[in-house]
Structure 1
Amino acid sequence: MEIALEKSTETNASLKIKLSKSDYQPEVDKKLKDYGRRASIKGFRPGKVPSSLIQKMYGKSVLVEEINELLKNTVSNYIRDNKLQVVGDPLPDREQADAIDWDSQNEFEFNYNLGLASDFEVDFDAIPAVTAYEIEAGETELNSTIDELKTRFSGQANVDESAEGDMIYGELKQPAKEEGGEPFATKTAFPTKQIAADELPKFVGLKKGDTVTFDIQKTFPDEKSRGLATGLKKEEAAELAGEFTFTVDDVTRPEQAEIGQEFFDKVLGPNVVDSEEQFREKVLEVIKGNYGRESDTLQRLDIEQALLDNIAISLPDDFLKQWLLTTNEGNVSEQEVEEQYDAFARSVKLQLIKNKIASENEINVSYEDVLNVTRGMVREQFGFYGDDEQMGQTIDKIAQQYLMDEKGENYMKMYNRLSDDKVIDVIKSKLTLAPRTVTVDEFKELVAARQPQA
């Protein structure tokens, strides 16, 4: 076997592989003998099929299969052993491959086009300081959050007269549209927030026993709200038209939850706090934790941009565009590749940088690391509190099942997330971080400024 790498530019190369009969024939003969032992052909006893017949029946397919496997391993091993920074996948020369005469050739030559990323170094000292945002969360945010919680955990109060935002219960009717037809009648509830603004005044000020006449399509313009108002499926509600009557049976109004132990337990869990002062402290702690995560997310974006802005990497752009078209054949157009290429190239460069940082700092992720992170996710999602043995077993069971689901894709998602987190932690430890305190509104403006423009 002969292998030669020829670089035409810093980022483009071709890998030429020449195979002689001695490279593949021993394995081909071995497989054909195995076929002969297992073949069941009429007129021959098992294991007694002539080798010439086996060669005729299976020889070419076994040869092609063995050479393809040999090429795959050879290319993969060469890239690994020579530490080539390949991007995309090697693209074989299809014209050359199609010209092969598998019936008569003994020697074969194959050519693979490779896309390479240029060499680069990660010099943290050359990267400017990255801002570390600390978001101020005080009484304003605390009071606003508590008001939202009081509304979220609200109850319902019966009222004498309807107003905007109320729920109106009653009987909805429409006479038969034609003689002998079926009239429409059902008990239902109208959420006034679903009623069209122009029609809403008809439903304000209603009392028990009042009847209102209205056009159902004007009052509930879209099929979904019409379905909610009538209790029908969306398709059935779409056919409703004309005037209906609604007779009021009852009116309820959302009522904010009252500050007290029942409210504390609903929000934070049973017996976590037992006073309003403790409740406010705990909620403020949660708010700061949430803002801290938002700040970390923004800082991660800033760190990634700083890496891209200060570490120069060249990519084989034409090769990668061709590779994207080839690997997504029929699913993307050349125009779509052009439109999406900059974002793709950005992600490739960023992953190359992170991979190098992970390698140079010997960052590893174990199964136990992934399981621990998944345990934390399960606790948060299901609201598990406490650390007793039975609860721990339940959490472990749910976490392990989650990681096995989706044919292991969930495990890889968690693995990649944890690996990325570890790389970011290393970067933070090596970069200069410049603390900056901002208000909630200032932080929202910073986030908005980083959103892609439509």
Structure 2
Amino acid sequence: MEITLDKHAANQASIKIKLNEADYQPKVDAKLKDYAKKAVIRGFRPGKAPFSMVKNMYGTSVLVDEINQILGESLNSYIKEQTFKILGEPLPVELEDNSIDWKTQKEFEFEYKIGFVENISLALDQSIKGKKYSISVDDKLVNETLDNLKSQYGENSNPETSEVGDFIYGDLAAKEGEFTKTVSLDTSKISKKLAGKFTGISKDAIVEFEGKEVKKDEWTAAFGLNEVDFADAKGSFTFTVQNINRTTSAELNQEFFDKIFGPDQVKTEEEFIAKVKETLQGSYDRESKVFTEEELKKVLVEKVAISLPDDFLKEWLLRANEGKVTEADVENEYPIYAKQLTWSLISNQIAKEHGVQAEHEDVIEKTKEMIREQFASSGLGAQLEASMDLFVDNYLKGNEGQNYMNMLTSVQNDKVLSLVQEKIDLVEKTITIDEFKELLEK
């Protein structure tokens, strides 16, 4: 047997395996002799058929099976001996039809394409700069949340006459052209001058106004139009009222407190506001943690600069999912796949170099945290904790065990990112929710 490697690119290569008769024939003969001992062939007692007849009947299929087994074992062993990291699976180079004569051919040559990356090296030290973001929950955000909650749990009505702040449902139409759309107008989000035209009106009223009276952001925020809609929002418009919707804000009382946080969790307005702020802070702490980690991943990916065998991986993805995806699908999804693969390679290397390991107990605890978050607003409380082990067990066994493997990977990533933050030059930065939204939009 002869195995050769031809690196024809920085991250792609071919492996050729040449087999001669001595590599496979002894195994083929042994398998055929075993067949002959058990073969049941018409005209002969079991195991008494001539070996030549058994060979003629089963020789080719046994030969193919044995060669495939030798190829698989040899290829895997050879790959394990290499220093580079194989990506995906080796792809056999397809031979032309009938290019192998299994009955007469004695020597065979097979070729496989592989994609790989060389050894990944990353020194975690102070030369790597990163930021740890913390979102500050200020009074403005708390007050906005309180207003939203009071509106959400307020009393809805359909008054005869409109006031500023009402939602007016009706038909918006341009006087010239064919534009028309049924919308729900939030009168609290338009200018006072324009809102005046929508105040004191009733059902079936027709309001006329000019497009120039509406700011660009008001078309979206107040009228709910998208960019395509308001691109033609010029000239004069009419708004025919179909209905008026009004929400009276809920009062800050015990009934309201119980609806939000459960019975008797808070009993005063001060406690309620403090609980809202605490809940907001917890939510934004989780968001800022995720954002920080994603930004750190970008820093590390840029630092290592792994060059993936893109062409090979696209071909492998297409062939591995034959019939399920198209070339267009692979092209569209590949950037996301490449990003995830790159981070996975870096994370695994850091874990290997620093002895980071996800333990079973870590998986259990992370799964419990996930389940608690999912049921946070359910009010189950003690009932959930009493059945937690069952919830965890059912989840981790789900998807044929893949849920467990995914959680194991998630735990390792958490540990790797915690280690990264300990090792690099990490600057803590407190930002407002508005600044956070700006960062997300970049």
Scaled by the length of structure 2, the TM-score of the pair is: 0.72
Contact 2:126/2:424, CA 8 A, preserved across alignment: no
Q: Is contact 1:166–1:252 with CA below 8 Å preserved after alignment?
A: no
Alignment of 1:274-285 (within 5 A): 274-285=267-278
CA deviations on 1:134-190 (whole Å, 9 max, x unpaired) are 222111111111222223333445x663759999xxxxxxxxxxxxxxxxxxxxxxx
Cα displacement string for residues 298-354 of structure 1 (whole angstroms, at most 9, x for unaligned residues): 222221221122223333444445445554567444x77667666554444333222
Paired letter, 1:17: I
Q: Which residue of 2 aligns with 1:71?
A: 71
Deviation for aligned residue 1:445: 0.9
Q: Does 1:305 align with 2:304?
A: no
State the one-letter code of the partner of 1:69.
Q
Specify every segment of 5 or more residues in structure 1 that has no aligned partner in the other structure, as ranges.
168-191, 207-211, 214-246, 450-454
Query: Match of 2:192?
Result: none
- What secondary structure sits across from 2:263 in the alignment? coil
Root-mean-square deviation (CA, aligned residues, Å) is 3.9
2:83–2:118: 8 Å Cα contact kept in structure 1? Answer: no
Secondary structure, counterpart of 1:115 in structure 2: strand
- In structure 2, do the counterparts of structure 1 residues 366 and 96 end up closer, same or farther at CA, with 3 Å as the change threshold? farther
For residue 116 of structure 1, give the secondary structure of its aligned residue in structure 2: strand
Q: Note if 1:420 corresponds to 2:417.
A: no
Superposed CA offset, 1:343-381 (max 9, x none) = 554444333222211211222224443232222222221
Q: Secondary structure at the match of 2:125?
A: helix
Q: Write the letter of the residue equivalent to 1:111.
A: E
1:443/1:48 CA distance change after superposition, 3 Å = same
Q: Which of 377, 397, 401 matches 2:394?
A: 401
Matched residue type, 2:368 = R
Kindly indicate whether residue 363 of structure 2 is the aligned counterpart of residue 370 of structure 1. yes
The within-5 A match list for 1:157-168 is 161=160
Rate the CA distance shift 1:81–1:49 in 2: closer, same or farther, 3 A.
Answer: same
The AA in structure 1 aligned to 2:89 is D
Over residues 358-415 of structure 1, what are the superposed CA-to-partner deviations in whole Å (9 max), with x where a residue is unaligned? 2112222244432322222222212367886x64452222222222233333333323
Instruction: Please list the CA deviations of residues 253-279 of structure 1 after superposition, one character each: whole Å capped at 9, or x if unmatched.
Output: 544332222322222233322222222
Q: 2 CA distance for matches of 1:163 and 1:47? A: 97
- Mark the CA change 1:126 to 1:332 in structure 2 (over 3 Å): closer, same or farther: farther
The one-letter amino acid of 2:19's match is L
C-alpha deviation, 1:436, in angstroms: 1.6
Asked if structure 2 preserves the Cα contact closer than 8 Å seen for 1:131 and 1:434, the reply is yes
Which letter maps to 1:395? M
Looking at structure 1, the residues matched to 126 and 78 of structure 2 have their Cα atoms a distance apart, in angstroms, of 34
Aligned to 1:107: 107
> Separation in 2 of the partners of 1:76 and 1:103?
27
- Residue 434 of structure 1 deviates from its aligned partner by 0.8
The reply to whether residue 140 of structure 1 matches residue 115 of structure 2 is no
- The number of aligned residues is 382
CA separation of 1:42 and 1:276: change in aligned 2, threshold 3 A? farther
Q: Is the 8 A contact 1:164 1:193 kept in 2?
A: no
Q: Is the 8 A contact 2:84 2:119 kept in 1?
A: no
Partner Cα separation in structure 2 for residue 162 and residue 338 of structure 1: 56
CA distance in 2, matches of 1:404, 1:14: 39
Judged with a 3 Å threshold, the aligned counterparts in structure 2 of structure 1 residues 20 and 376 are, in CA distance, closer, same or farther, namely same
**Distance change >3 Å, CA 314–CA 53, structure 1 → 2:** same
| 2:94 is the counterpart of 1:94 | yes
* Counterparts of residues 9-88 of structure 1 (less than 5 Å): 9-25=9-25, 27-28=27-28, 32=32, 51-88=51-88
28-37 or 437-446, larger mean C-alpha shift: 28-37
> In the TM superposition, what is the alpha-carbon distance from 1:433 to its structure 2 partner?
0.9
How much does 1:130 deviate?
A: 0.9
Matching of residue 196 in structure 1 with residue 167 in structure 2: no
Residues 122 and 263 of structure 1: is their aligned pair in 2 closer, same or farther, counting only changes over 3 Å? same
Which residue is 1:429 aligned to? 422
Query: What CA distance in whole angstroms lies between the structure 2 residues aligned with 1:150 and 1:314?
Result: 53
Is the 1:96–1:110 Cα contact (8 Å) retained in structure 2? no
- C-alpha distance in 2 between matches for 1:28 and 1:264: 79
Q: How does 1:320-399 map to 2 (within 5 A)?
A: 320-324=313-317, 326-327=319-320, 331-333=325-327, 344-383=337-376, 391-399=384-392
More divergent stretch after superposition (262-271 vs 252-261)? 252-261
1:149 aligned onto 2:149: yes
Partner residue in 2 for 1:205: 202
- Indicate how the Cα distance of structure 1 residues 397 and 27 shifts in structure 2: closer, same or farther if over 3 A, else same: farther
Q: Which of residues 315, 319, 323 is equivalent to 2:308? A: 315
Equivalent pair of 2:11/2:307 in contact (CA under 8 Å):
yes
Q: CA deviation at 1:448?
A: 0.7
Aligned to 2:119: 119
Looking at structure 1, the residues matched to 127 and 321 of structure 2 have their Cα atoms a distance apart, in angstroms, of 36
| Percent identity between the two aligned chains | 39
Distance change >3 Å, CA 166–CA 252, structure 1 → 2: farther
> What letter matches 2:202 in structure 1?
G
Partners of 1:50 and 1:165 lie apart in 2 by: 100
Residues 126 and 310 in structure 1, CA contact (< 8 A), matched pair in contact too: no
Structure 2: gaps of 5 or more residues: 174-181, 184-197, 206-241
Residue 69 of structure 1: how far off its partner (Å) = 2.9
Preserved CA contact (<8 Å) 2:363 2:408: yes
